[in-house]
């Protein structure tokens, strides 16, 4: 007997796919279309992967495919981590990705590898097309933001106006960063490109040195670098900013990714599929309580649904938030360089805001509902699950971590540039309150600290390796997580 994941009802898939796959090991079911890797000539290793987010699942899957003995320990009662699709409390089979929400092409190569391998259904996601941006309380279309008079009124200088008119509003950073990008030959090596001194220069100072206007500083997220300590506190180094943009160019990506995609039924379909492939190798409800590592092995202590458990392995892969990892006793202790990373790295968090409406009311008001509002209660707005039949629809966006549904609803009603609204309810998914997946993407490294964080954030400590969105050079959610997961799997396979 066989079954195909694409024929499973989406709601059943969310709740039962992992259980069904676990049962397959007992009942004799097999996955249709399985693409198992060729037998490995290397001896199998025992490897524990801690964290069943998309990074941990992809790493474990790749190790399994290479013939290794893998166990995945997940503290929560679900797999997927920051990749999460919800159906409740939404009506009419509507759904929303309240975590990892899209992937791009070009880009996301490892993510696409799984999409194609498992034949997962892909939808174009026009959330970045025909955007409207709210600036100083007034809405502007993309065409207006390439109008010379409007740009001059914002305070851009003539050189900047010419660049924006030719390349677009979102490409302005290239005017000041572009001349430095080709100095980097290896996207994983920000140093020794002849620009190391830029780690002691703020991005704002670099822009000013190259003639940026106050408007260019404002709209590129940098402050005027006047050299005073107050102006430099919290600044991102110019080296970091240039290096990150060089990675984007190296991968052939645009500055602003307009062509984005999502999985039909929700991006959790991928993590559900990976978890199902791993089957009983995934153990839920297993928070880590201690780690011991030596020259030849690693011992992990955990609490499996409240019962103390000890597991031994050849290697350990940590794919959990570093704020959690630093609280877990480790013997011997982390080296000073790794402890610095654990103590000082900063992650962001946000809430995902959903607005349910009776119909697509904006159709008679606006060219698009893709809004950049500038309001912390809901600073982005766009439609999701638009392929679901019926009149009701879901608008989704992001807000500050502590935003309430009432605040989000009120904010939308205040900044919405049209007249007609048929909103029924607001829902907020607050990631900061999730005990196991409370952080989002890694923040930029502070001025003058790049060498303390990189490459230490991704470097192994003995037999302990690291994967996840934090452990790649460009920390873009699902892309970074799957890249690092694949990278670590191949490293361990080759050892």
* Rounded to 5°, angle at Cα 165 from 156 and 131: 95
pLDDT at 222: 77
- Model confidence over 276-333: pLDDT tens digits? 999 999 999 999 999 999 999 999 999 998 899 999 999 999 999 999 999 999 999 9
Q: Are residues 244 and 210 in the same domain?
A: yes
The residue out of 250, 278, 299 marking a domain boundary is 250
What is the predicted pLDDT for the residue at 9?
37
In this structure, the answer to whether residues 427 and 356 fall within a common structural domain is yes
Evaluate whether 380 touches 476 at the Cβ level (below 8 Å).
Answer: no
Backbone angles phi, psi at 448, to 5 degrees: 80, 10
Same domain (yes/no): 341, 447: yes
d(CA 329, CA 336): 15
pLDDT cut 90: percent of the chain above it: 85
pLDDT at position 250 over 80: yes
- One domain, residues 293 and 388: no
Is the domain of 321 the same as that of 342?
yes
**11 Cβ contact list (under 8 Å, min separation 6):** 87, 93
Same domain, 52 and 91: no
CATH of the domain at 398: 3.90.660.10
Domain shared by 62 and 180, yes or no: no
Within this chain, do residues 312 and 397 fall inside the same structural domain, yes or no?
no
Q: Is 138 domain-assigned?
A: no
**Number of residues in the chain:** 495
Is residue 22 in some structural domain?
Answer: no
CATH code of the domain containing 292: 3.50.50.60
Residues 332 and 449 in one domain: yes
pLDDT tens, residue by residue, 333-344: 999 999 999 999
Strand pairing category for 260-263 and 307-313: unpaired
> Given this model, what pLDDT does residue 234 score?
52
Listed residues 433, 468, 483: the one ending a domain: 433
Please calculate the CA angle 430-132-215 and round it to the nearest 5 degrees: 95
Same domain, 276 and 387: no
**Would you say residue 395 lies in a domain?**
yes
The pTM for the full model equals 0.89
pLDDT digits over 109-142, tens only? 999 999 999 999 999 999 999 999 999 999 999 9
Tokens (6 digits) for 237: 């180094």
Last residue in a domain, options 183, 216, 250:
250
In 3D space, the residue among 429, 416, 358 whose CA is nearest the CA of residue 96 turns out to be 429
At residue 224 the predicted structure's pLDDT band, cuts being 50, 70 and 90, is low
pLDDT-derived band at 17 (thresholds 50, 70, 90) equals: very low
Q: From CA 198, how far away is CA 202, in angstroms rounded? A: 8
- Grade residue 441 by pLDDT with cuts at 50, 70 and 90: confident
Give a yes or no: residue 1 inside a domain: no
Domain span at residue 223 reads 143-250
Whether residue 465 lies inside any domain: the answer is yes
Mean per-residue pLDDT of the chain: 90
Shared domain check, 341 and 447: yes
Query: Domain check: are 448 and 339 in the same one?
Result: yes
Question: Residue 134 falls within a domain, yes or no?
Answer: no
Is 148 a member of any domain?
A: yes
**Per-residue pLDDT at 137:** 95
Asked if residue 109 is part of any domain, the answer here is yes
Give the chain's domain count: 3
- Give 166-170 contacts, CB < 8 A, sequence gap 24+: 168/142, 168/256, 169/133, 169/142, 169/145, 170/255, 170/256
- Angular region, 296: left φ>0, alpha ψ -120 to 50, beta rest: alpha
């Amino acid at each position: 007997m066989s079954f195909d994941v694409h024929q499973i009802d989406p709601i059943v898939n969310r709740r039962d796919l992992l259980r069904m796959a676990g049962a397959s090991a007992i009942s004799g079911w097999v996955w249709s279309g399985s693409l198992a890797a060729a037998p490995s000539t290397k001896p199998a290793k025992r490897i524990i992967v801690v964290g069943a987010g998309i990074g941990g699942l992809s790493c474990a899957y790749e190790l399994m495919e290479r013939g290794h003995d893998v166990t995945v320990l997940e503290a929560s009662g679900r797999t997927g981590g920051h990749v999460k699709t919800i159906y409740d409390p939404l009506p009419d089979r509507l759904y929303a990705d309240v975590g990892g929400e899209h992937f791009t092409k070009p880009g996301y190569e490892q993510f696409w590898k799984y999409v194609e391998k498992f034949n997962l259904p892909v939808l174009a996601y026009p959330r970045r097309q025909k955007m409207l941006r709210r600036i100083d309380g007034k809405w502007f279309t993309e065409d207006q933001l390439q109008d010379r008079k409007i740009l001059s009124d914002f305070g851009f200088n003539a050189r900047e106006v010419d660049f924006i008119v030719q390349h677009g509003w979102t490409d302005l950073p290239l005017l000041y960063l572009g001349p430095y990008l080709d100095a980097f030959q290896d996207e994983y090596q920000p140093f020794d490109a002849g620009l190391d001194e830029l780690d002691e220069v703020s991005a704002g100072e670099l822009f000013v040195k190259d003639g940026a206007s106050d408007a260019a500083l404002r709209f590129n997220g940098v402050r005027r670098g006047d050299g005073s300590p107050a102006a430099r506190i919290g600044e991102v180094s110019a080296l970091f900013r240039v290096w990150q943009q060089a990675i984007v160019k190296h991968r052939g990506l645009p500055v602003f990714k307009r062509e984005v995609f999502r999985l039909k039924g929700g991006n959790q379909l991928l993590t559900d599929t990976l978890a199902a492939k791993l089957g009983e190798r995934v153990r839920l409800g297993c928070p880590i309580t201690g780690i011991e590592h030596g020259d030849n092995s690693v011992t992990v202590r955990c609490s499996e649904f409240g019962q103390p458990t000890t597991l031994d392995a050849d290697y350990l892969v940590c794919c959990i938030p570093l704020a959690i990892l630093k609280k877990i006793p480790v013997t011997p202790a982390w080296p000073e360089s790794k402890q610095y990373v654990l103590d000082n790295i900063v992650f962001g968090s946000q809430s995902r805001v959903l607005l349910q409406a009776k119909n697509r009311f904006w159709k008679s008001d606006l060219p698009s509902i893709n809004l950049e509002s500038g309001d912390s209660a809901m600073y982005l707005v766009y439609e999701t699950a638009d392929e679901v039949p019926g009149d009701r629809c879901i608008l989704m966006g992001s807000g500050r971590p502590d935003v309430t549904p009432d605040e989000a609803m009120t904010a939308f009603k205040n900044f919405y540039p049209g007249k007609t609204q048929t909103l029924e309810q607001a829902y907020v998914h607050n990631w900061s309150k999730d005990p196991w997946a409370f952080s989002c993407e890694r923040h930029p490294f502070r001025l003058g600290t790049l060498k303390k964080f990189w490459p230490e954030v991704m470097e192994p400590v003995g037999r302990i390796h690291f994967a996840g969105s934090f452990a790649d050079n460009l920390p873009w959610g699902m892309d970074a997580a799957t890249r690092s997961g694949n990278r670590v799997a191949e490293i361990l396979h080759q050892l």
